[in-house]
Amino acid sequence: MTETRGPVDSSRIPRFAGPATFARLPRLDEVGRCDVAVVGVPFDSGVSYRPGARFGPSAVREASRLLRPYHPGLDVSPFAALQVADAGDIACNPFDIGEAVETIEHAAGELQDTGARLVTIGGDHTIALPLLRSLARRHGPVALLHFDAHLDTWDTYFGAEYTHGTPFRRAVEEGILDTEALSHVGTRGPLYGKKDLEDDRRLGFGVVTSADVMRRGVDEVVDALRQRIGGRPLYLSIDIDVLDPAHAPGTGTPEAGGLTSRELLEILRGLAGANLVGADVVEVAPAYDHAEITSVAASHVAYDLVSLLALSAPSLEKTP
C-alpha cells in the first residue's frame, strides 16, 4: 500500500497552531488524490427556523483539532488505512436554492469521480439530496440510515420543494433511494399531524425513535438496522439535532428527548463492516453552540464516519 500522509504531528506543533483542516489532515491539493475526502458545504438557505449552519464546516474543523489518529473503539488507524484529506468547501449560491443544489451535486460528483468517498460537513439538510443524486449515479439506489429528530419527508414549506425538511421525500420520488432499506433513527417531538407518519411509511421508511433507543438499547437497535440494510450500498445522513439539546445546543431546530452523544457514536460503531459509500453530518449552527459542545460532538461523528470507511479499506492498518 502506498504510504499515506496523515495529520500534523501534535507532539511537534501545538493543536492550537496552524491551519484548521479537519483533524489537522493535509489538504487535497497537497496530496493529489485521496480515498476519503472530508468536504464542507457552507449552505443554510433551506432552513425553516434558526439560520447559521453555513458556519458549521469551519466550526467542526476547529473542534476537530483534538482528534487523534487511533480509534480504540473500532481498533483502526483511519488515517493510516486510507489517504484522507480535507477537500475544502463546496461554495454555492446562498440566494438560489435550485442553483446551489445543482452546484453541490456537480462538485460531489467530480470528487467521487477521482475515487474518493465523501464525508460531508454541512450546512443544512437540504444538501443531502444532491449528495444522494451524485451517489446514485455510481451505485444506483442506495440504502439510507437517517439520524435526525425530524422525518425530513415533508412535501413543501411555503410551496418550496427543496428545503431542509424535504430532501428524503424528493429522493424517494426521484428513485435514488432503495425503499426496502430506509430508516429514521432518533426521531421525536411534535408533528403537524398523524398524516406525517402515514406519508412517511408510504415512502418506505422504518422508524426507530429516540424512545426506542432508550428502551431497547443500542445493541438491539443496531441489530435491527443491520438487518434492514443488509449488504446494500449505504449512506448515513446525520442531523446533529438527533442529539438531545443537552448534547447539541448549537443547531437550528432543537427538540427535547434526544440521543446522548454516547448512544449515537455507539450505534455508528455498531455499523462497522457495512457497505458504506458516503455520509454527512449537518445542521451544526455554532452561533447557538455553548462552549463548542455541538461542534465537538459533530467532529467526533465525522471521525467515526471516516473510521467506518477505513474499515472497508483493501489493506488495513490497525495499529496505533
Q: Which residues are documented as binding site?
A: 125, 148, 150, 152, 239, 241
Q: How far apart are CA 221 and CA 214, in angstroms?
A: 10
> Which residues 6+ apart lie within 8 Å of 18 measured at CB?
8, 24
Q: Measured between alpha carbons, how far is residue 153 from residues 125, 126, 163, 168, 185 in Å?
A: 11, 11, 10, 5, 14
End-to-end Cα distance, the chain? 17
Mark the binding-site residues for Mn(2+), compressed into ranges: 125, 148, 150, 152, 239, 241
Of how many residues is the chain composed? 320
- Can you tell me whether residue 259 is helix, strand or coil? strand
Beta-strand relationship, 276-282 and 117-122: parallel
Q: How far apart are CA 108 and CA 239, in angstroms?
A: 19
- Determine the longest span between alpha carbons in the chain, in angstroms: 57
